[in-house]
Amino acid sequence: MSATNKHLAGTLAAQNGDFMTTPSPVSSLAAAPTTRRKMRREGPGSRLWRVLVWGAMIFFLVNVGLMIATVTMNSLATRWFGTPLPQGFTLHWYAQAWRDFQLADVLWVTMEVVGAVVLLSIALGVPAAYALARAQFPGKKLAMLVFLLPLMVPPVTYGIPMATVLYKVGLGGTLAGVILANLVPSLPFVILVMTPFIEQIDPNLEAAARIFGANTLKYFRYVLLPLLVPGILAAGLLVLVRTIGMFELTFFTAGPDTQTLVVALYYAVFSTGVRAPQSIDAMAMIYMAITLLWVLIALQFVSPTQLVSRVKEAPKGE
C-alpha cells in the first residue's frame, strides 16, 4: 500500500470512529485525586462498620431461616429424634391439626372478622382521609395525631380498658366485639395510607366536574372513585394482613367460638392437655402460609415507601 493510500485509509477510519483511543495522562492525573478522596473517606472504621452491619443481617436471616426450616421439617416428620434429618415425611400432622384444633371453624371466624374489619375500615376511613386531605383548619395536625394515636401506642395499653368496657356492655366474647376491637387500629391505618393518595389528586377536577353539572354522587362515582381504587385496594390488603396477625386485641375480646387463627394457635401451644408438637407446628405453618400469601399479594399493589403520610399546613392568611 502506498503512502497516499495509507493516509486515505487512516482518514476514513478516523471519520468512521474506527480507531482506539488511549487515556490521556492529564485525565488520569485528574481522576487520581478523586479515587484517593474516596479511599480516604472510606477508612478502616467505615469498612469495619459495614462488615458488622452485613454480618448482623446475615446472622439474623440465617437464624430466621433455620427456625422456619426446623418448624417446617418437624410438621412433616414421621419421627425425628437424635438424627440430622427426620426418618420419614408425612402429611398426617396437618390432617390431625385440622381435626383437633377445629381449623375449619377457626378459619371461617377469621374470614368473617377480617372481611368485616376491611369493609368497615374502608367505608369509614376513606371519607375521613378525604376530609383531612382537602379541609384546611387550624387544628389539622392535632386531629391527624389523634386519629393515628392507636398506631403509635402499644395495643395492650388501650386493649385491656377497651375489653373491660366491651364485656360490661355485653359485647365481650362475641363476634361483634372482636370486630370492633380490631377496627380501632385498622381505621387509622386506612387514613394513614389513603391521605397521600387523595392529596395527589388535583382539586381542580372536582371544580371541573361541578361546572359540567355533576353532583356529589356522580363526581365520586365517575371521577374520584376510579382514581382512589389503587389506594383503596392497597389499604384493604394491608388491613387484611394486619388483622390476621392482630393478637392482643383479639385475645382480650374473643370467646371460645370467636377465636381467630392467631389466638387459636396461642391456645394450642399454652392451654392444658397433651398435644403432639408436630400438630402445633403444622398449625403454625398453616398460619404462616396464609399470612405470607396475603403479604406477597399486598406487596404487588403497594410499596412500603408509600406508607409515609403527610398533612399539608394551612396556607398563611386563611
Contacts 24+ apart (CB under 8 A), 294-300: 294/237, 294/240, 294/241, 294/244, 295/241, 297/237, 298/234, 298/237, 298/238, 298/240, 298/241
Q: Are 298 and 112 in contact (CB under 8 A)?
A: no
Q: For residue 148, give the amino acid letter.
A: L
CA 314/CA 136 separation, integer angstroms: 5
Q: Is 12 domain-assigned?
A: no
Residues 57, 177: one domain?
no
- Per-residue pLDDT 10s for the chain (318 aa) are 444 444 444 444 444 444 444 444 444 444 445 545 554 555 677 888 888 999 999 999 999 999 888 888 888 888 777 777 787 888 888 888 888 888 889 999 999 999 999 999 999 999 888 888 887 778 778 888 888 888 888 888 888 999 999 999 989 889 999 999 999 999 999 988 888 888 888 878 877 888 887 787 887 788 888 888 888 888 888 898 889 888 889 999 988 888 898 898 888 888 766 677 888 888 888 888 888 888 788 777 666 555 544 434 444 444
Domain hosting 156: range is 94-307
CA 132/CA 141 separation, integer angstroms: 9
Q: Is 143 domain-assigned?
A: yes
The number of beta carbons lying within 10 Å of the beta carbon of residue 65 is 10
Residues 54, 111: one domain?
no
Grouping H, G, I as helix, E, B as strand and the rest as coil, residue 77 is strand
pLDDT score recorded for residue 123: 92
Residues 81, 212: one domain?
no
Residues 51, 137: one domain?
no
Q: Are 136 and 314 in contact (CB under 8 A)?
A: yes
CA 94/CA 112 separation, integer angstroms: 23
Write the burial class of residue 123 (CB in 10 Å: 0-12 exposed, 13-18 middle, 19+ buried).
exposed
Q: 94-116: b or e for each residue (b if 16 or more CB lie within 10 Å)? A: bebbbebbebeebbebbeebbeb
Q: Is 3 domain-assigned?
A: no
Q: What is the sign, positive or negative, of the torsion defined by CA atoms of 169, 173, 178, 179?
A: negative
Reading the block at residue 52, the C-alpha cell is 458488622
Residues 242, 188: one domain?
yes
CA 9/CA 14 separation, integer angstroms: 9
What is the domain-level CATH number for residue 219? 1.10.3720.10
CA 313/CA 138 separation, integer angstroms: 9
